[in-house]
Structure formats: structure tokens, C-alpha cells
Amino acid sequence: MGIRNVCILFGGRSGEHEVSCRSAASVAKNLDPNKYRQILIGIDKAGRWYLQHKAQFLKEDYGERLEVATMAEVVSVVPGQGLGSPSGSLNVDVVFPVLHGTFGEDGTVQGLLEIADLPYVGAGVLGSSLAMDKAKTKEIWRQSGLPVVDFIVVRDGSSESTARILKKIPVPLFVKPVTAGSSVGITKVKSADQLQPALAEALRFDSKVMVEPAVDAREIECAVLGNESPQAFAPGEILPNHEFYSYEAKYIDPEGAELKLPADLPETLSHEIRSLAVAAFRAAECSGMARVDFFLERESDRILLNEINTIPGFTNISMYPKMCEASGLAYPKLLDRLIELALERHNRRRALRFSL
């Protein structure tokens, strides 16, 4: 096949811009140079795309990140023709969007890449946009007979909304933006007087807010990989050293959480979690990859779906690549497989007829 040109998209217009830059650094370091030629495109916080002529790795206390250099050529998306810059078209075989959150993981970039007729890693437009909306995903899962945590959705922080919430969900509870990721904007509310400030914080990041009861549970995650025949890897467990698995615990504090791989579970329970992860992946119309997050109630061992992430973290401490590696799929081989899946889905879609 020769060396493939892989375009890594990173940065972006979201509260997870820095996380994306850290994930992209890990992807860039682990792509096999004997198989791939890298084309780096950094997206600044205003949403402008820049061709990075040289990877600029910045060392941090908690790893490395790629810097988005803005003194560079602006990249344009050409419908039906791919990507271009002032110096000409870019020869791209596949795009790897290492973008978290809005304007990257929510179907917007995926739609843009579809219009450009470019293969890309990860879920398609529907799967991406659906999985980004935690409330809609849970509605789909519930309709599919899958177990979920109870929730309520509100669109403002008024006293009427707080009264409605407290009537249905007693404290302690969690308040989270519906379409934000990486625990951005999430607050654990321990008393009624903390609810309105928590709603105000979540509404900074989204126009819809989801409120859920605080479940006394273990946090279990499961990596899913594949298109038509997805496979789930052995689950892992998050043991947060913070109040909960917050943004800081995930990406900043190297001691923020312990990752137990594989999770200490009976085989029957592990098998059930893997089966539910695949069912959740399929119900949400996902493809390529996803990390499915669960709550495992401590008293009853009841399994509850929490959420699904179509572009999970790929940093040096992220769970998705670590779970795959713990099951025997090393990081570089995981990237190989994701690229294969992207090309496979693109070729299958290209074989369809879109006109008479």
C-alpha cells in the first residue's frame, strides 16, 4: 500500500482545546513513520485551521502537547476535493480528528469531512452528534431497553427549575452540561443552596443541563473498537483521588486517579459489561471507536450506563488506549486498526448510490 498520508486534526473551538493538543501529541508520537506520513493541522480557539509545517511539542508537568502555530498557512476545505492551502491541495489519505467536545466530536467536523469526500477516523455524523448529547443518548438507550441512571433536563437556572429538580432528584446530585465532555462544567451538589450556582456554571458551557442523582458506585469504563462487528475489551476501573473524576483528575493531576486494568470483576460481570458496551455502541450508531462509561452500584452490582465518548482521550494517561493495550493491542497497532476502519467505512459508503 505504500506510506499513507494521515492528517491529524487537533486543537479546536471547545473547552477541551488543551486536552486535544495533549491527545494529538500522543497520537503523533505513536504513528509508525514506516507506514504513515503526518500532515498536522492545528485549529485555534476561534476555529481557524492552520497547516503545521513542523510538529512543536511542548513539555508540561503532565506530559506533552502539540502547539497550534497560527503564523502558518490557512487550510481550506474544498467540497468534493479534500483540503487545500495557498500553496496547493493537500494529499490526504485519511483524517484523524483528535478533537474533543464541540466543533470536533459532535458531528460538525465529521459532516465537513464527508462533504470534502475524505475518510476519517471515528464515528460518523449521526453517531458523533447523538453521542455528544448525553440526554438524547440516554433516551435512545432507555428505548433500547438498556439500563441508565435517572436524569432530568433543564434549560435555565430559575427557582422554578431548581424546585422541579429537587422534587424529583434529592441531593447529593450531579449537574452537567448536556454536550460538554471531559467533565467540563460538572458540579457535585451536596446541598440545595448549591444547586443554582451549579446550574449557572453548567449553563456557561451549554444551553441544556442534565441533572442526575449521585450514585454510590464504582466507575467502570470499556473500550469498543470496530464498525459492523465491534469488539469490547476488558473493562477498566477509575479510582479517583478527587471528589469525582473531574477535568483536573483526568488531564492535569498525574495522581488524580488510579487506573485499574483490568478491573477487579467476576468474569460473568465483566462479560455483561462488555456485552452492554457493544449494545450501547450499536444503539448510538457509533463506528470506529468509543469509550463506554458505566456505574456499578456497590450494594447491588447493578450496571448502569453513564455515557459514551466517540473520540476518547488519547493522552499518555487516558483510559481508552490503556484498556486496549491491557488486552494486547499496543498503542501503535490501535492506531493502525483505527485507520483501517476509517478507510473501510469510507469505501463502503462510496459504493452507495446517492442519485438515480
pLDDT, one tens digit per residue, over 241-251 is 766 555 555 55
Mean pLDDT of the chain: 92
DSSP string, 173-225: EEEEESS--TTTT-EEE-SGGGHHHHHHHHTTT-S-EEEEE---EEEEEEEEE
Long-range contacts of residues 30-33, Cβ cutoff 8 Å, at least 24 apart: 30/331, 30/332, 30/335, 31/6, 31/332, 31/335, 32/332, 32/335, 32/336
Res 258: pLDDT: 85
Res 14: pLDDT: 87
Res 182: pLDDT: 52
143-166: per-residue pLDDT in tens?
999 999 999 999 998 888 899 999
pLDDT higher for 40 or 185?
40
Confidence of residue 312 (pLDDT cuts 50, 70, 90): very high
Res 264: pLDDT: 96
Confidence of residue 185 (pLDDT cuts 50, 70, 90): confident
CB-neighbour burial class of residue 160 (10 A; exposed 0-12, middle 13-18, buried 19+): exposed
Confidence of residue 256 (pLDDT cuts 50, 70, 90): low
Measure the CA–CA gap between 149 and 210, rounded to whole angstroms. 11
**Predicted TM-score of the model (pTM):** 0.91
Q: Show the domains of the chain with their CATH numbers.
A: 4-120 (3.40.50.20), 131-147+216-343 (3.30.470.20), 152-213 (3.30.1490.20)
Res 247: pLDDT: 55
Instruction: Using the predicted structure, report yes or no on whether residue 168 has a pLDDT greater than 70.
Output: yes
195-221: per-residue pLDDT in tens?
999 999 999 988 999 999 999 999 999
Phi/psi zone of residue 23: left (φ > 0), alpha (ψ -120 to 50 degrees), beta? alpha
Amino acid at 72: A
The pLDDT of 297-310, averaged and rounded, is 96
The pLDDT of 266-280, averaged and rounded, is 97
Res 63: pLDDT: 80
